Structure 1
Amino acid sequence: MKRTIHLCAASILLSVLAVFCLATVARSQLDIEDREKAGLFAMVQNGKWGFIDRTGKTVIAPGYDAAHPFTEGLARVQLEGKWGYTDKKGTMVIKPQFAAADRFSDGLAEVSIGGKFAYIDRMGKVIIDARFDDSAVFSEGLAGVKIRGKWGFIDKTGKTVIEAQYNDVQRFSEGLAGVLVGKKFGYIDRTGRMVIEPKYDFALPFTEGLAPVVIDKKFGFIDKTGSIVIKPQFRNANRFSEGLARVQIGRKWGFIDKTGATVITPRFDKVNRFTEGLAGAQTGKKWGYIDRSGSYVIDARYDFCDPFFEGLARVQAGNKWGYIDGTGKYILEPTE
């Protein structure tokens, strides 16, 4: 099952990715923009997973071996090594039966059946047969699939729309998808037309009209015509969120705006993206949350923290995880 950042691309770019901290880019399998506002949050208690609401009240009692956030009304949960899907009432809509499974997107979810990947609907019916060596979630109506060592794209009927010909692909975002041709990344549109020629050592999806790319081991940003908007100059960078992008200069992280101007001077050891006006930031070994001025509004006292979503953020204290609100107040005390 395809990761947010793909290992085949990473293996080509070891010299670049040696300074590219994957944990700050794709800590979670699920991007914030993919989550639905379900009002439910996965939590763990005594080694079992369940779901709470925004007040910290348990809605689905802990009983799963693992659980992921809701998308399109269903959440992936694991029991005895198999994955299935539950609804918001805790009813197991699709019984645990898959060795691997991903989130629902565009009405379909990718699952592993007999060592191959297929797509099911919200009732658990196989819509696209298990015939792919690897696969990705649907995005903007298309999904990347791997056949005999090459990646292409299918539509929601399983029809091949873009022939398998690339060494790697990213999902479609804002009408374009990054593709790896040989050792260089470019971008195609939904017809498979190469819109931006493969010339980048690394590339990430477009957000807010811009995409981070690597040229000569430096990160910069391009627009959808391939024009360089922010010249390559950063040791590391990530996508824009709420008008700001994370960038690394030397060993420290800060934020820039879409003109490339520094908004928050790089002085943090690591940072997360801005969501709901706040961003996780690490100083030394502890994480807290900063506002758009770069000031800590929630002190750095956590061992890790996730981005805010629906007013709550998951934070780590030792081996325990809990949820806080935007003031730093615990809604759910850390548990394990």
Structure 2
Amino acid sequence: MTVQDKDLNYPLGNTKIETLALVTNPHAGHGASQAASRKASRVFADRGIDVIALQGSNPDDARKLIREVISDGRIDALAVCGGDGMINLALQEQAGTGIPLGIVPAGTGNDHGREYNLPRDDAKEAANVIADGFWTTTDLGRITDVQGNQKWFGTIMCAGFDSIVSDRVNQMSWPHGRNRYNLAIVREFLAFHSLPFKITLDDDRVLDDPITLAAFGNTRSYGGGMKICPTANHSDGLLDITVIGKSSRIKAALAFKSVFDGTLNEIEEVSTYRCRKAHVEYTGPARPMNAYADGDFMFPLPVTVEVVPSVGKYIVPRP
């Protein structure tokens, strides 16, 4: 069935799930995803659902397996057991196919799970949500690099200080969860200065003052609950953009603190915008400057980031 939202015109529905593909990242959550996958698989078996288990030897292999199982028409849903990075990998093949995506959160940040009110600490409950088959359509973000390569994302794309922090986080194995982001922030903050950027919005506004960071949100949080785009709505056809401008270290530290408690908009150096598309360039001296989304590396800058309405399809708890 399909129920139409009168205000946003985003379909909701329910799919009877008899066969699903379950893709697991064995490294997510420092191995916790393997245990979560076993618990979820037992729930699916108890609910009479046939499971096709997928586990690629590397990201490209995993994408190939996902692509094949979606295209051959055998499955009613795709499920991911892992973190936001694994969900992002699945989105590259699942977005726009009409196959609903279920999530068993088992990673470090779990911001998709947080956004869609999924059980984040109980794999069995998350599996039952998937087995129930209730889904909603959402917006997704899409990033295009200078060669025309494109990638989807579900939560937030970042550039600037936060992408430098993400470079650092991806080199760390300890600590776990949000504390890893906290430590990476401290380490990079000690040597940080504002960065020259040029951000061109789709209404021809140009933001070209030095910035600390820029975040482009389809959803509200990243990095394990950091509310960098606290008013973002994944079903409004717009990106929320948060820019922290040039500031002293003390003011920048206050801004970062406000990210954790959701009061970012109270900081003087913070500006917010909404648009459907933006072009993002780093204009400073030559150095690596990358765009990250869903916690993973996407492309080096410059990139164009845009929202694509109603192309996402997630299995969520029934309202």
Normalization by structure 2: what TM-score? 0.26
Higher relative contact order (CA 8 A, sep 6+): 2
* Structure number with higher helix proportion: 2
Q: Which protein shows a greater Rg?
A: 1
* Structure number with higher strand proportion: 1
Normalization by structure 1: what TM-score? 0.25
